[in-house]
């Protein structure tokens, strides 16, 4: 079995197990929290393509998430578009936006990219929050074009409320699971393909990659485009799932949460982001009681992990496995001069 | 005419405030290739510490400001020893330290939030009164900020150019290994550079909050702007970053007058993207040949 088949197989098995959860545990809180896990995991699995596999330290992922969420919410709110159409529309717009950001970052390296993409998100946030001109005047009060500080609500849903009644959250659970499974399969297919190898080559040795005819321009735009579809979709689904979209999606603690997931799990590994997302969801749950101290805990986890465990949990396990595999060779008698 | 002079005056004040925090960032990046994402939180910490010393402890202003500057410098040293030093030798130090300092910034900001609460607080360090000069309205506060900025920049420039320690910093920035071979204790240089940067952040936090007010997240916006200025100037160039800070301050004042406050950051960002497409290493940045 090739590595690619193994990983895809593992994806489907995990998805199968996850599908049983609402049947086994009917607790609403567990199910809705797991739905959030699906959303965040989708974002970090795709972010890993840019940051881990492509080696481009872009922080634009939250902005792409917001583009997806806002597109879906605005289409639903202003035009009454069905969410079945508005969600893919949000994802597609995120792709276009991401390719534009990729173009702007083409000539930059390393932390310059992080700064520029962080500023892009900050500008979007300021443009939305500082907009006080009324675009429409519904009975609820003045509504700026982008929703202003208040954001959007009541822009439609996927119709699970009519279909399943009070158990509508189970519908959302399966939509989220399907989205994460597809995102994970897409990620495995990309990483284990010639294109994924090209991304990794450009990351590890740009000059050698270029000498072998790998076009940085082309592949950077590809990776920005590829990684943004599911990010935008996750944003749109987040909008549908929570029923509100506001400037809170740009908040720094969101970014910190997602960045911690990818770092704790292991940057550039296939399963790292998924593991990190799971661990951080549990950590977040454990710190729920701490209130405002939660951010301090998140910060400590992030700093501790970057300082002590730069390759994350999955990277650490891979290193251990490799060391164990190398052990017998080390114990074998070394060839001496006489025997040689 | 009066209007343009007025815009120039407020633009220069803005630029002077930016210059103080930008110089610290540029110094740290130049010496150790570290983008300090906790700079904004240290800046807010400086503002709050001065508030705490003056309002809470009733200390006189010079003592309170010195207290704030010293504590923030100490925070810089702590960041060096706990966060930066263990990863200095790693391959992707630039990315790792960037992420780690994001975490440090969040921790500091949450501590400030816990200690002082989310309500805005007034900065007690202020000079009342103003001056009318040729039809231009100049509050003493703004003049003081300009004066402080010029003084600090002059002192920093002198220290970097003429003193032994300044030479050690510049040598480390130029070539870490060569400096180390010549007997420069680069660990000490790094700690010192972060301490200076922390102290400058405190001054910048006090000046910025004296014109608006203290908020736990007040550092985010000045820090991003300081980074933009650094990028425009070319990361690591201290004199370049001061010139760029003054230019960006005036640019922002002009944009705010013509288009309104809302668009100032957006237009600033567009300007930066254009500059970076024109010169990816910044206007004053050294174009370094990349060795592959």
Domain for residue B109, yes or no?
yes
| Top-confidence residue, B284 or A261 | A261
> How far apart are the C-alpha atoms of A151 and A73, rounded to whole Å?
9
Nearest CA in chain A to B79: A303
ipTM above 0.85, yes or no: no
Domain for residue B169, yes or no?
yes
Return mean pLDDT, chain A: 83
Q: pTM of the predicted model, to two decimals?
A: 0.85
Both A256 and A242 in one domain: the answer is no
Domain that holds residue A264: 251-326
Both A182 and A278 in one domain: the answer is no
> Would you give the end-to-end CA distance of chain A in angstroms?
38
Provide the shortest C-alpha distance from residue A196 to chain B (in Å): 21
**For the residues A200-229, what does the mean pLDDT come to?**
86
Query: Any CB–CB contact under 8 A between B262 and chain A?
Result: yes
User: What's the number of domains chain A is made of?
Assistant: 2
> How far apart are the C-alpha atoms of A286 and A298, rounded to whole Å?
11
Domain for residue A334, yes or no?
no
- Please list every residue in chain A whose beta carbon sits closer than 8 Å to the beta carbon of residue B113: 292
What confidence tier does A141 reach under pLDDT thresholds 50, 70, 90? Answer: low
Both A36 and A108 in one domain: the answer is yes
Residue A233: predicted pLDDT:
93
Domain boundary among A188, A223, A249: A249
| Top-confidence residue, B67 or A312 | B67
What confidence tier does A157 reach under pLDDT thresholds 50, 70, 90? Answer: confident
Domain for residue A337, yes or no?
no
- Please list every residue in chain A whose beta carbon sits closer than 8 Å to the beta carbon of residue B103: 256, 260, 298-303, 306
What confidence tier does A156 reach under pLDDT thresholds 50, 70, 90? Answer: confident
Domain for residue B248, yes or no?
no
Q: For the segment A59-99, what is each residue's pLDDT rounded down to a tens digit?
A: 888 899 999 999 988 888 888 778 888 888 989 999 999 99
CA angle in degrees (0–180, nearest 5) for A310-A316-A318: 130
Q: For the segment A43-52, what is each residue's pLDDT rounded down to a tens digit?
A: 999 999 988 8
Per-residue pLDDT of chain B (292 residues; tens, 9 = 90+): 577 888 888 888 888 888 888 888 888 888 888 888 899 999 999 999 999 998 888 888 889 999 999 999 999 999 999 999 888 888 788 888 888 998 999 899 889 988 888 888 888 877 777 777 777 777 888 888 888 888 988 888 888 888 998 889 888 888 888 888 988 888 889 999 999 999 999 999 998 888 888 888 888 888 888 888 887 887 767 788 888 888 888 888 888 888 877 777 778 877 887 777 777 777 776 655 554 4
Structure tokens at A62: 């939250």
List the single residue in B83, B94, B276 with the smallest CB-CB distance to A108: B276
Both A227 and A318 in one domain: the answer is no
CA-CA-CA-CA torsion for A48, A51, A52, A55, nearest 10 degrees? 160
% of residues, chain A, pLDDT over 90: 14
Both A40 and A144 in one domain: the answer is yes
Please give the sequence-ordered ranges of beta strands (E in DSSP) within chain B, or none if there are none.
Answer: 130-133, 136-139
- Please list every residue in chain A whose beta carbon sits closer than 8 Å to the beta carbon of residue B87: 306-307, 310
Domain that holds residue B163: 16-219
Nearest CA in chain A to B263: A127
Domain boundary among A221, A249, A277: A249
Any bridge partners for residue B214, and if so which? B121
List the single residue in B87, B231, B276 with the smallest CB-CB distance to A107: B276
Residue A180: predicted pLDDT:
92
Of A143-157, A294-308, B74-88, the least confident: A143-157
Local structure of residue A136 (DSSP, 8 states): B
Q: For the segment A95-123, what is each residue's pLDDT rounded down to a tens digit?
A: 999 998 888 877 777 777 888 888 888 88
Query: Any CB–CB contact under 8 A between B147 and chain A?
Result: no
Radius of gyration of chain B (CA): 19
> How far apart are the C-alpha atoms of A149 and A247, rounded to whole Å?
6
Q: For the segment A325-338, what is each residue's pLDDT rounded down to a tens digit?
A: 876 555 555 444 44
Residue A337: predicted pLDDT:
47
Residue B286: predicted pLDDT:
62
Residue B285: predicted pLDDT:
67
- Does residue A340 register a pLDDT over 60? no
Provide the shortest C-alpha distance from residue A265 to chain B (in Å): 14
Find residues 34-73 of chain B whose CB sits inside 8 Å of chain A. Answer: 35
- Please list every residue in chain A whose beta carbon sits closer than 8 Å to the beta carbon of residue B287: none
Best interface-test mutation with A: which of B99, B225, B235 has the largest number of A CBs within 10 A?
A: B99
What confidence tier does A1 reach under pLDDT thresholds 50, 70, 90? Answer: low
**For the residues A259-277, what does the mean pLDDT come to?**
88
Per-position DSSP letters for A304-325, written without gaps between them = HHHHH-TTHHHHHHHHHHHHHH
Q: For the segment B3-46, what is each residue's pLDDT rounded down to a tens digit?
A: 788 888 888 888 888 888 888 888 888 888 888 889 999 999 99
Both A143 and A289 in one domain: the answer is no
Cβ–Cβ below 8 Å for B103 and A123: no
Both A114 and A228 in one domain: the answer is yes
> Would you give the end-to-end CA distance of chain B in angstroms?
54
């Amino acid at each position: 079995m090739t590595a690619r088949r193994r990983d895809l197989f593992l994806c489907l098995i995990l998805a199968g197990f996850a599908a049983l959860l609402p049947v086994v545990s009917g607790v609403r809180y567990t199910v809705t929290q797991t739905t959030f896990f699906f959303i965040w995991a989708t974002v970090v699995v795709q972010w890993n393509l840019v940051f881990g596999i492509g080696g481009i330290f872009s922080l634009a992922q939250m902005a792409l998430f917001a583009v997806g969420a806002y597109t879906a919410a605005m289409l639903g709110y202003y035009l009454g578009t069905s969410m079945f159409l508005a969600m893919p529309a949000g994802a597609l717009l995120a792709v276009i936006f991401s390719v534009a950001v990729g173009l702007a970052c083409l000539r930059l390296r390393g932390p310059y990219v992080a700064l520029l993409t962080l500023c892009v998100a900050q500008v979007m946030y300021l443009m939305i929050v500082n907009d006080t001109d009324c675009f429409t005047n519904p009975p609820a009060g003045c509504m700026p074009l982008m929703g202003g500080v208040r954001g959007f609500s009541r822009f439609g849903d996927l119709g699970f409320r009519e279909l399943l009644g009070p158990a509508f959250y189970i519908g959302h659970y399966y939509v989220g699971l399907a989205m994460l499974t597809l995102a994970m399969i897409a990620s495995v297919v990309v990483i284990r393909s010639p294109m994924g190898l090209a991304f990794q080559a450009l990351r590890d040795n740009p000059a050698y990659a270029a000498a072998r005819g790998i076009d940085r321009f082309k592949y950077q735009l590809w990776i920005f485009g590829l990684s943004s579809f599911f990010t935008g979709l996750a944003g749109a689904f987040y909008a549908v799932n929570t029923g509100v979209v506001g400037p809170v999606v740009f908040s720094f603690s969101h970014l910190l949460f997602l960045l911690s997931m990818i770092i704790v799990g292991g940057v550039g590994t296939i399963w790292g982001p998924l593991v990190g997302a799971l661990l951080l969801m549990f950590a977040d749950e454990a710190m729920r009681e701490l209130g405002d101290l939660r951010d301090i805990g998140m910060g400590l986890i992030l700093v501790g992990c970057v300082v002590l465990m730069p390759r994350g949990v999955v990277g650490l396990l891979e290193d251990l496995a490799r060391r164990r595999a190398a052990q017998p060779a080390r114990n074998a008698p070394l060839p001496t001069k006489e025997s040689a | 005419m009066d209007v343009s002079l007025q815009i120039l005056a407020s633009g220069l004040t803005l630029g002077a405030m930016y210059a103080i925090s930008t110089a610290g960032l540029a110094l740290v990046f130049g010496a150790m290739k570290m983008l300090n994402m906790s700079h904004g939180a240290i800046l807010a910490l400086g503002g709050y510490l001065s508030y705490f010393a003056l309002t809470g402890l009733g200390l006189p202003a010079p003592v309170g400001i010195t207290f704030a500057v010293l504590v923030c410098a100490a925070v810089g040293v702590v960041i060096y020893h706990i966060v930066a030093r263990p990863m200095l030798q790693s391959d992707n130090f630039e990315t790792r330290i960037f992420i780690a300092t994001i975490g440090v910034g969040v921790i500091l900001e949450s501590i400030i939030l816990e200690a002082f609460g989310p309500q805005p607080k007034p900065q007690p360090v202020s000079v009342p009164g103003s001056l009318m000069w040729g039809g231009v309205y100049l509050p003493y506060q703004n003049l003081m900020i300009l004066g402080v900025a010029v003084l600090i920049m002059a002192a920093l420039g002198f220290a970097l150019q003429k003193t032994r320690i300044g030479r050690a910093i510049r040598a480390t920035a130029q070539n870490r290994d060569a400096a180390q071979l010549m007997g420069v204790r680069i660990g000490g240089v790094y700690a010192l550079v972060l301490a200076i940067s922390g102290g400058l952040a405190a001054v910048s936090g006090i000046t910025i909050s004296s014109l608006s007010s203290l908020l736990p997240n007040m550092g985010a916006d000045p820090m991003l702007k300081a980074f933009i200025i650094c990028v425009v100037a070319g990361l690591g160039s201290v004199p370049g970053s001061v010139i760029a800070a003054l230019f960006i301050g005036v640019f922002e004042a002009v944009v705010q007058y013509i288009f309104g406050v809302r668009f100032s950051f957006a237009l600033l960002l567009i300007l930066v993207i254009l500059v970076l497409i024109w010169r990816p290493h910044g206007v004053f940045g050294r174009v370094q040949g990349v060795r592959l």
